[in-house]
Structure 1
């Protein structure tokens, strides 16, 4: 898949030039609730890993949730993840450059109570991307009264830290020949497992009858798969991702497409669209790029990286529009969609 060929350039977009000293932060969430953040390490003992069959399937999950404003600020990524990215790309930067990106959540803050539980939204990132790339969307949703579970699908992103100091790499990026539907089915199984574990949490308390999912690129395809396979997932948003399986889905689904997405996945969308029998919306965003929903574009500008990227690569990733406004658009849409559908 051609999209995988730009993963390294996308990662470069997250790194600052050596001269950058001004602190960089994410967009401020718009909701009334302070935000807590918690990291979960989950192991599905009953399932072998698709990419590393000699290991059980492991996942790193970030929970963002309405919280009391207590505790220290959370980190955008861990020190090890930041250092590995900086060193791996041979950047002339402090090892903690990416760790220092400011967020608006507090680590392990006590969760606010909710009598019936908070609605839950699962976020699944694109292939090669970590869950951190959807942090702006996650913090916005949490500030509006959702619990958000951002999933790092093991061996499908670069430099993701697991317990014991293990930094897992994107084995899937080296296995592009594996059927796309198999990979997305694997992600849907991840989501089913994550839901079971998150619903066991006493705080934040989740309302099991109000669960949705959104994903970018491969994560968008996984969203469609989860809608088809897990009855608990009630509604979904696919942000420029592939469209498998071609089966009847009677649930609300929104699809946002970019020129790159239309080029890569348009035929699959056309084939699947008539099989969606619930509420549906398909919107072509002509000025967007494949990764306009992520943090990466506006962080690249804030950190001085736009001019270091080939213009055509930038166009494919982030389009011609204002990168901040695209992220604002997606976070507003997701909030309103899930408020209406869950």
Structure 2
């Protein structure tokens, strides 16, 4: 039985992102003519410099929310590069403006746009740089964001994974992400109040999006240009994808989508769900049947969105049964990795941004977004576990990181 609690859990990601914007602006001093808070994203932990490009992809299927229109997506492709260059913006102008303004539309909050320099923040990835082909073709990992969250708010992990020798493809799920900017400055936002039916449609759309993106990556790898505007691809990108080695990870609803896509598409060989329930509108197929390939759950300390009750696990049996059902039915390699004192949005770039907004936030708000886990240790552990997981299952590189709790990462533990 699906309850309103399941729906509330799926909506947590979008609400938490809004809380950050609200809190940073609500508690900020009067803004000057320039932004008062700047965000610095952490350095890469891998050996390769990283390049990035965006693709506008248009499918033949109708959009599930706008059936008169074809389904269209924006994706970011991040890859090992030969060199560094001009660093990419964290957010495009339209996305940055929407992020800055969306909570300023509520007069009762007294919000002030311009408090944070969203547009001025730079990723570690560079634009217009050649793909490193010295190691041949790279394994591919797809990423799916949380409901109501932009793909851009997950750049720290996707850029870092690329630095370990992966082509990482981050998908914006249109009308599910809070905002998506298409070429020419056209901005699309989610245009309905989400409920259980909306979220169930989102999961189905995300699975179809994922399969479509994989098809377009196959075209790209064969030398075609799938970009709707036929914009120039980075030198060396065609042929640089090893599509026999594909993984996927996602956050919140994106973690659920990663599991469902993996169940439906054998091309995906390994998956990770970061803190996402696996039943909205219906119990997931991966929950009912498991998959014959590796899958890892990663969780934070939990809070019931309806009651405020706190748990030491984000998906205990008396709160959300989907993780327990999946654990019973998953027959291949599996792990349940817990981050103590982390919160749901610790697995996004807010883990980096919130501590840098400390002077603008109350302690209560900060803890509600990213918990009390040590920020730098949290980011470092996420980077290491993600890279090691895909190294193990896509590159078949040995590691002891999943053999048991590791003293190098005092904030993490495996749940049996």
Both proteins in one fold, TM over 0.5:
yes
1:71-220 map, 5 Å: 71-90=85-104, 91-94=111-114, 97-114=117-134, 116-171=136-191, 174-178=193-197, 180-202=199-221, 203-204=236-237, 205-220=240-255
The superposition leaves residues 147-191 of structure 1 with CA deviations (integer Å, 9 ceiling, x where unpaired) of 10011000112232113322111236x131316444322211111
Following TM superposition, by how much is the alpha carbon of 1:96 offset from its aligned partner in structure 2, in angstroms? Answer: 8.2
Contact 1:29 1:104 in 2 (8 A): yes
Distance 1:323 1:71 in 2: 28
For the 8 Å contact 2:296–2:336, the answer to whether it is kept is yes
Q: 1:332 to 1:207 in 2, by over 3 A?
A: same
Tell me how far 1:333 sits from its aligned partner. Answer: 0.5
The alpha-carbon deviation at position 2 of structure 1 amounts to 2.0
> Does the 8 Å CA contact 1:65/1:111 hold for their aligned counterparts?
yes
Structure 2 equivalent of residue 28 of structure 1? 43
Secondary structure at 2:141's aligned position in 1? strand
Q: Which residue of 1 aligns with 2:331?
A: 277
Residues 60, 151 of structure 1: 8 Å contact kept = yes
- 2:289–2:329 contact (8 Å) kept in structure 1: yes
State the Cα distance separating 1:117 from its structure 2 match.
0.9
The change in CA–CA distance for 1:21 and 1:182 in structure 2 (over 3 A counts) is closer
Distance 1:186 1:148 in 2: 20
CA distance in structure 2 between the partners assigned to 1:272 and 1:105 by the alignment? 36
CA distance in 2, matches of 1:219, 1:281: 18
Match of 1:13 among 5, 9, 20: 20
For residues 21 and 330 of structure 1, the distance between their equivalents in structure 2, rounded to whole angstroms, comes to 29
1:222 aligns with 2:257: yes
1:132 is paired with a residue whose SS is: helix
What are the superposed Cα offsets for residues 241-294 of structure 1, whole Å, 9 maximum, x if unpaired? 122222231110010122143269631111222221110011333411111111
CA distance in 1, matches of 2:151, 2:93: 16
Residues 306 and 314 in structure 1, CA contact (< 8 A), matched pair in contact too:
no
Deviation at 1:97, TM superposition (A): 1.6
Q: CA RMSD in A?
A: 2.4
Q: Which moved more, 1:255-264 or 1:201-210?
A: 255-264
Q: Call closer, same or farther: CA 1:41–1:230 in 2, change over 3 Å.
A: same
The residue matched to 1:148 in structure 2 has which SS?
A: strand
Q: CA deviation at 1:134?
A: 1.2
Aligned equivalent of 2:320 = 266
> CA separation in 2, counterparts of 1:128 and 1:331?
23
Take 2:340 and 2:85, find their aligned partners in 1: how far apart are those partners? 42
Q: Is the aligned partner of 1:240 residue 2:275?
A: yes
Q: Verify the 8 A CA contact 2:14 2:146 in the aligned structure 1.
A: no
Provide the residue aligned with 1:321 in structure 2.
373
- Once structures 1 and 2 are overlaid, which stretch shifts more, 212-221 or 323-332? 323-332
Taking structure 2 as the reference length, the TM-score comes to 0.75
**Matched position secondary structure for 1:106:** strand
Q: Which residue of structure 2 lines up, in the alignment, with residue 290 of structure 1? A: 344
* Partner residue of 2:57 out of 42, 45, 48: 42
Residue 55 of structure 1: how far off its partner (Å): 1.6
Does the 8 Å contact 1:87/1:95 carry over to 2? no
Residues in 2 aligned to 1:40 and 1:190: alpha-carbon distance in whole angstroms? 14
Q: Distance between the aligned counterparts of 1:5 and 1:43, measured in 2?
A: 29
Structure 2 portions without partners, runs of 5+:
1-6, 105-110, 222-235, 279-283, 304-313, 395-416
Structure 1 stretch 264-273 or stretch 161-170: which is displaced more?
264-273
Unpaired runs of at least 5, structure 1: none
Q: How many residue pairs were aligned?
A: 338
